[in-house]
Amino acid sequence: MLYLQILVNGLLLGGLYACIASGFSLVWGVLNVINILHGSFIVIGSYVGLLAHQQFGINPFLTVPVAGLLLYGFGYLLQRGVINRAVGQPVLVTLTLTFGLELLVNNMLIAGFTADYKKVVLENPFGQIELGALFVPVDRLLSMVLALLLTGILYWMLRGSKLGRAIVAVRMDREAAALMGVKVNSIYAVTFGLGALMAGAAGSMMSMIYPISPIISTAYLGKAFVICVMGGLGSVPGAIVGGLALGVIESFGSLFFSAELATTFSFVLLILLLIFRPTGLMGRRGYE
Amino acid sequence: MSAPFFRADGVEAGYGGVQVLWGVGAELERGQIGCIVGSNGAGKTTFMRCIAGLNAAWKGTIEVDGRAIASHPPHQILSAGVALVPEGRRLFPGMSVRDNLLMGTFLRRDGSAAINADLDRALGMFPVLRERLSQDAGTLSGGEQQMCAIGRGLMSRPRLLLIDELSLGLAPRIVEQLTHILREINEQGVTILLVEQDVITALELADIGFVMDRGRIVKSGPTEELADDPVIREAYLGIV
How distant is the Cα of B237 from the closest Cα of chain A, in angstroms? 33
* Whole-number pLDDT of residue A258: 81
What is the SS3 assignment for B159? Answer: coil
What residues contact B87, with CB distance under 8 A and at least 6 apart? Answer: B45, B48, B164, B165, B168, B195
* Whole-number pLDDT of residue A223: 92
Residues of A in contact with B104 (CB under 8 A): 180
Among the partner-chain residues B74, B94, B152, the one whose CB lies closest to the CB of A285 is B94
Residue A120 half-sphere exposure, CB side, CA atoms within 13 Å?
30
Query: Is the pLDDT score of B238 beyond 90?
Result: no
Q: What is chain A's pLDDT, residue by residue, as a tens digit (288 residues)?
A: 789 999 999 999 999 999 999 999 999 999 999 999 999 999 999 999 999 999 999 999 999 999 999 999 999 999 999 999 998 888 899 999 999 999 999 999 999 999 999 988 887 778 888 888 888 999 999 999 999 999 999 999 998 899 999 999 999 999 999 999 999 999 999 999 999 999 999 999 999 988 999 999 999 999 998 998 888 777 899 999 999 999 999 999 888 888 778 778 878 888 888 888 777 666 554 444
Q: What residue of A is the nearest CA neighbor of B80?
A: A181
* Whole-number pLDDT of residue B1: 52
Mutation site for B-interface testing, chosen from A165, A172, A180 by largest number of B Cβ within 10 Å: A180
Q: Do A168 and B104 touch (CB under 8 A)?
A: no
- Enumerate the β-bridge partners of residue B8: B26, B62
How distant is the Cα of B238 from the closest Cα of chain A, in angstroms? 35
Mutation site for A-interface testing, chosen from B85, B95, B152 by largest number of A Cβ within 10 Å: B95
Side chain identity at B170, as an amino acid letter? L
Angle between helices A138-160 and A184-206 (to 10 degrees): 170
What one-character DSSP code corresponds to residue B2? P
Q: Do B156 and A180 touch (CB under 8 A)?
A: yes
Nearest CA to A40 out of A192, A219, A214, A224 is that of: A214
Nearest CA to A24 out of A205, A287, A225 is that of: A225
Q: Do B95 and A182 touch (CB under 8 A)?
A: no
Classify residue B52 as exposed, middle or buried by CB count within 10 Å of its CB (0-12, 13-18, 19+): buried
Query: Is the pLDDT score of B115 beyond 50?
Result: yes
Q: Do A172 and B93 touch (CB under 8 A)?
A: yes
CA angle centred on A145, ends A144 and A149, rounded to 5°: 115
User: What own/partner pairs with CB < 8 Å and gap ≥ 24 does A77-85 have?
Assistant: A77/A189, A78/A37, A78/A192, A78/A196, A79/A188, A79/A189, A79/A191, A79/A192, A79/A193, A80/A185, A80/A189, A83/A31, A83/A33, A83/A188, A83/A192, A84/A185, A84/A188, A84/A189
What separation in angstroms does the CA of B96 have from each of A165, B125, B180?
Answer: 11, 18, 26
Q: Do A181 and B107 touch (CB under 8 A)?
A: yes
What one-character DSSP code corresponds to residue A118? B
What is the SS3 assignment for B142? Answer: helix
Q: Do A179 and B95 touch (CB under 8 A)?
A: no
* Whole-number pLDDT of residue B110: 93
Q: What residue of B is the nearest CA neighbor of A286?
A: B94
Q: Are A68 and A20 in contact (CB under 8 A)?
A: no
Complex confidence, ipTM: 0.94
> How much of chain B exceeds pLDDT 90, in percent?
87
What separation in angstroms does the CA of B13 have from each of B42, B49, B50, B193, B216?
Answer: 12, 10, 8, 19, 11
Nearest CA to B30 out of B207, B181, B166 is that of: B207
Q: Are A8 and A134 in contact (CB under 8 A)?
A: yes
* Whole-number pLDDT of residue B230: 86
Rounded CA-CA distance A247/B146 in Å is 46
What is the DSSP track for A47-81?
HHHHHHHHHH---TTTTHHHHHHHHHHHHHHHHHH
Nearest CA to B202 out of B152, B158, B236, B159 is that of: B236
Residues of A in contact with B73 (CB under 8 A): 178, 183
**B81 interfaces chain A, CB cutoff of 8 Å:** no
Q: Do B74 and A179 touch (CB under 8 A)?
A: yes
Q: Are A265 and A250 in contact (CB under 8 A)?
A: yes
How distant is the Cα of A166 from the closest Cα of chain B, in angstroms? 8
Count CB-CB contacts under 10 A for residue B4: 18
Query: Is the pLDDT score of B56 beyond 90?
Result: yes
Q: Do A179 and B102 touch (CB under 8 A)?
A: no
Count CB-CB contacts under 10 A for residue B126: 22
